[in-house]
Amino acid sequence: MTQRAIFVVNPASDGGATGRAFPAIAAEARARGIEVVERLTEAPRHATALTREAIAAGETLIVAVGGDGTVNEVVNGFCDEGGTPLPGTAALAVIQRGTGCDFARTFAIPKKTALAVAVIAEGQRHRIDLGRATYQTPAGPETRMFANIASCGMSAAVARRANETTKRFGGTPSFLYATAATFLRWHNRRFRVRIDGAERELIANNVVAANCRYFGGGMKVAPDAQPDDGLFDVALMGDISKVDFVLNVHRLYRGTLGRHPKVDYVRARRVEVQSDEPLPIEVDGEQPGAMPVVFEVVPGALELVVP
């Protein structure tokens, strides 16, 4: 039986390779019995508008084709401007084509096109949580959803550097280089954090609200995160020095960062973060604004097609 799917494609992702590869992707999907309806993005946040249009028209399957930024834009299309999930029966499927491809890792969604298309054709729907970030911009407060991870502090500066420089060497080397280069110039700040009403004040490098497990091109920052439990895994990265970084960067990839005495993990539904200066934030690798920021879990907000 043929199933219809709206393919929201970012042709500029993966250095423009996605646009060139999409005819082959579409052919693979059709061979699997999928009716391909192509929607190409033309500008930032266009994927969000295309997704909302598809859901309003009653479509039941939206496929995000692109990097983590494209996935984030499509995820935002499943919600209104205030972050409330839209009514309907649409599910998200993913063909990841970017540098990091971190969202798919938690769910073991393959990066290889043929295998990813097989998941769309044969996989099952699984309901997961989303995160909602409310932050500051020059125009005032804004809200943006995230499916994977959001953070504030050095990680946002790393994401910006990685996005502004070449990624031709691949996700892990590119993000590792950006992390090291940013850390050399970074100094930790005082954060005021309210976690489900409990207040903390600390000198910190980062505060991470994780719905899923990976960011930064394969860094396993939240190894125990469950994207369907109604909670964030919150990583409080304290006053980590440059020596600490050199000696422990391997822990980010092995999922053992929690063994470091300056790193603390808690689970929470709501995280509010402030500092004495408007430090950048990132959501799913994008940098939409600055602190102060509130991260909230929206339980069961999205159906995802998984293996």
The pLDDT tens digits of the residues spanning 268-280 come to 999 999 998 888 8
| Burial environment of residue 74 by CB neighbours within 10 A (0 to 12, 13 to 18, 19 or more) | buried
pLDDT one-digit tens code per residue, 208-234: 999 999 988 888 999 999 999 999 999
Instruction: Give the rounded percent of residues in the chain with a pLDDT score beyond 70.
Output: 89
Candidates 14, 68, 244, 284; catalytic one: 68
Q: Where are the beta strands (DSSP E) in 188-289?
A: 189-195, 198-204, 206-210, 232-237, 263-268, 270-275, 281-283
As a whole number of angstroms, the distance between CA 26 and CA 144 comes to: 30
In this predicted structure, the answer to whether residue 100 has a pLDDT above a threshold of 90 is no
Residue 180: per-residue pLDDT? 58
Residue 177: per-residue pLDDT? 56
Residue 169: per-residue pLDDT? 47
- Across the chain, mean pLDDT equals 90
Mean pLDDT of 168-195: 69
Q: Categorize the per-residue pLDDT at 159 as very low, low, confident or very high, splitting at 50, 70 and 90.
A: low
Q: Categorize the per-residue pLDDT at 41 as very low, low, confident or very high, splitting at 50, 70 and 90.
A: very high
Closest listed residue to residue 61, CA positions, set 306, 265, 304, 285: 304
Cα dist from 225 to 37, 163, 209, whole Å: 34, 25, 10
* Three-class DSSP category at 99: coil
Q: Is CATH 3.40.50.10330 what the domain over 3-122 is classified as, yes or no?
A: yes
pLDDT one-digit tens code per residue, 182-211: 655 667 889 999 999 999 999 988 899 999
Mean pLDDT of 77-97: 95
- Between 283 and 176, name the one with better pLDDT: 283
Residue 163: per-residue pLDDT? 58
Domain ranges, ordered by start, for the chain: 3-122, 131-299
As a whole number of angstroms, the distance between CA 150 and CA 222 comes to: 12
Mean pLDDT of 68-88: 95
Residue 179: per-residue pLDDT? 61
Tell me if residue 68 is catalytic.
yes
* Three-class DSSP category at 150: strand
Domain spanning 131-299 has what CATH number?
2.60.200.40
In this predicted structure, the answer to whether residue 43 has a pLDDT above a threshold of 70 is yes
